[in-house]
Amino acid sequence: MKIVPFLALVQLLSACSGEEPVMTFGLAVRLAASETPPPTRLLCSPPGEYASSVGVSLSLDGPPPHLFVESEAYPEDDVYRVRVYDAVEQEANRIVWIRNEVLFERTYDSAFGEGSLTDSFVVDFDGQQYTFEAQGLPASATCPFYPAP
């Protein structure tokens, strides 16, 4: 009977040890080379990262809505969720963007990252198609470098 409280205490102490889970792999997302030659890195989350969200505006011309891509790390599940969405300006006096409509969403797991796998997807926005590429980065990898356009 005394073993149960002891095991509960061990679990509680390990949960409070201060060690945060980290991602075992990384993820890079960019527009395909045919969209912006030479290819330009949009965002990259390196292996070993703790939970974070990285978002980038594609800075398309014209009035809102604008196209955004974001990657969000979930280290507890060891997955990244990638979303492409359009956003509108909430206040005219400040640049505050709010998500309007999610146009694409996909989850990438450690098998994708550790296998250095690649994926591509197409998003229709404002009458045009944009092709994105996602690349898994194993634990030993670093973010790829793409020169600025």
pLDDT tens readout for residues 105-137 = 999 999 999 999 999 999 998 888 888 999 999
* Residue 136 three-state SS: strand
pLDDT tens across 4-16, in order?
Answer: 443 343 444 444 5
- In this predicted structure, what is the pLDDT of residue 115? 97
Residue type, 87: A
How far is 137 from 37, CA to CA, in rounded Å?
A: 22
